Structures are given as C-alpha cells and as structure tokens.
C-alpha cells in the first residue's frame, strides 16, 4: 500500500519549470474568432501574461504576417512586456520558424504552456510538433479561440489525444501560486484575480472589503 506524502505532483506547473508561448493574439485573427467573446479573450490573455511576468516565467511572443495581413498584437501584450522581442513568422506553424525555435532552445524548458489564435491551426501545429520532439505541452484553452466551436473543440481533442494537457487561464495563475502561505506572491496573485478573474475576483474584493478576509492568513 502506498503512503501519501505532502508533496505536489510532478504534473503540476511551477514558475520555474516551463515557458509561456503566446501565439498570434492579433487583430485579424480576432476578427474571425467566434468561440469566445473578444473582450473575454483579451482579459484571459492579460491574466496569464501578468501572472507569467509576476512569477518570472520566460515568455515567447510570436506573430504571423504582422505587417502584411494579421496586424499588431493585442495592445495589452506590449504594455505588459515592454521591449520584449516579438518573432514574426510566415509559417502558420510556429515550430517551423527558426527564430522561434532558437528562442525556445535559448530558454531551455522542456515544458511549454501555449495559447493563441486560432486553436485549429496556429496552436495545433506547434503543439503536435513539440510533443513529437519530446516536449510536454499544456494548452490554455480559454486564451485560445477559433472560427467555430467545431474547429476549436476538434483541435483541443486532437491535441489532448496527442498528449497535451488542457487548462484554463485562472487555473494557470492559481497553479503558479498554489499555496497561499507564499507571501511574496500573495498580493500579486490576488491582485491579478481581482482585476481579471470575473466572479472569483469580485469575491476576493468583497471578502477583503466587507470583513477583512484573507486566504492563507495574510
């Protein structure tokens, strides 16, 4: 009989074990996205971006045909990551772009968390390619979107069948924090949640304002 021990599972994300790869959160791609409200998508992208920055997770930003077709990144991204290089590509599959691959290799993480537009094209491509090369891939499905529910769902199913792990934006943030006793990131996490985590964030605001409640004794 196995004995339980108070240690986290290896499958849980931590700030030091992965890089976040944000792919093609661009104007033209958003115009045809119908699986998630664009305001909600931008909110979720801001949430994970602020979480990654606050927890010092390495981040890769990439676009496709920025000048000729797809347009600029959502304005939140350069605001959160000022001066961060953006790797523009011609290939729909970021894993076929040497600049992106050089950056992935420079960062040196075997576990990647991916989000972007569209799920069925620019997320499936690098996900399946990276898995085949031995990388662990997590996909933040509510920071992705596609032209139809069918396209998005079939893409998620295909990636999961290949071994990718689907997660949500709030799940990503809370998995990085994981223990409210981690006081150095407590205010960061609850602050991002208050601003971007919908009803959960409003609940944190209410509890703190009305009766001074704080998770983890902070």
Query: Active site includes 144?
Result: no
The answer to whether residues 169 and 199 belong to one domain is no
pLDDT tops 90 at residue 151: yes
Please give the average per-residue pLDDT across 199-210, as a whole number. Answer: 75
The answer to whether residues 56 and 131 belong to one domain is yes
Structural domain contains residue 139: yes
CA nearest neighbour of 26 among 114, 169, 145, 120? 145
The answer to whether residues 104 and 36 belong to one domain is yes
Structural domain contains residue 1: no
Structural domain contains residue 14: no
Structural domain contains residue 3: no
Lowest mean pLDDT among 13-27, 56-70, 145-159, 201-215: 201-215
pLDDT band for position 215 (50/70/90)? Answer: low
Indicate the number of domains in the chain: 2
The answer to whether residues 62 and 151 belong to one domain is yes
The answer to whether residues 150 and 57 belong to one domain is yes
pLDDT tops 60 at residue 217: no
Helix 183-196 vs helix 169-177: angle between axes, to the nearest 10 degrees? 170
Structural domain contains residue 8: no
Structural domain contains residue 72: yes
pLDDT band for position 20 (50/70/90)? Answer: very high
The answer to whether residues 159 and 61 belong to one domain is yes
The answer to whether residues 160 and 187 belong to one domain is no
pLDDT recorded at residue 202: 80
Domain of 203 in residue numbering reads as 179-217
Write the pLDDT tens digit of every residue in 39-80.
999 999 999 999 999 999 999 999 999 889 899 999 999 999
Please give the average per-residue pLDDT across 143-166, as a whole number. Answer: 98
pLDDT band for position 173 (50/70/90)? Answer: very high
Structural domain contains residue 65: yes
Distance CA 51, CA 191 (A): 10
Structural domain contains residue 83: yes
First to last CA, the chain: 37
The answer to whether residues 122 and 209 belong to one domain is no
Task: Please state the pTM of the whole predicted model.
Answer: 0.94
The active-site residue, picked from 100, 122, 144, 164, is 122
* Mean pLDDT over the full length of the chain: 94
User: What's 99's domain CATH number?
Assistant: 3.40.50.850
pLDDT tops 70 at residue 216: no
The answer to whether residues 188 and 111 belong to one domain is no
pLDDT tops 70 at residue 214: no
Phi, psi (5° rounding) for residue 82? Answer: -65, 135
């Amino acid at each position: 009989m196995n004995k339980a021990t108070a240690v986290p599972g290896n499958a849980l994300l931590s700030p030091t074990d992965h890089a976040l790869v944000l792919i093609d959160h661009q104007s033209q791609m958003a115009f045809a996205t119908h699986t998630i409200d664009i305001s909600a998508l931008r909110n979720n992208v801001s949430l994970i971006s602020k979480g990654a920055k606050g927890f010092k997770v390495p981040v890769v930003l990439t676009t496709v045909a920025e000048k000729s077709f797809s347009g600029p990144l959502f304005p939140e991204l350069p605001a959160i990551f000022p001066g961060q290089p953006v790797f523009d590509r011609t290939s729909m599959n970021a894993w076929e772009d040497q600049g992106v691959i050089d950056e992935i290799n420079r960062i040196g993480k075997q576990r990647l968390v991916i989000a972007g537009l569209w799920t069925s094209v620019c997320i499936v491509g690098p996900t399946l390619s990276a898995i085949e090369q031995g990388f662990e891939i997590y996909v933040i499905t509510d920071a992705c979107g596609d032209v139809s529910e069918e396209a998005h769902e079939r893409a998620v199913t295909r990636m999961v069948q290949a071994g990718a792990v689907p997660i949500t934006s709030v799940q990503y943030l809370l998995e990085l924090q994981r223990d409210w006793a981690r006081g150095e990131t407590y205010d960061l996490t609850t602050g991002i949640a208050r601003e971007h985590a919908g009803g959960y964030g409003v609940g944190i605001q209410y509890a703190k304002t009305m009766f001074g409640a704080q998770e983890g004794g902070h």
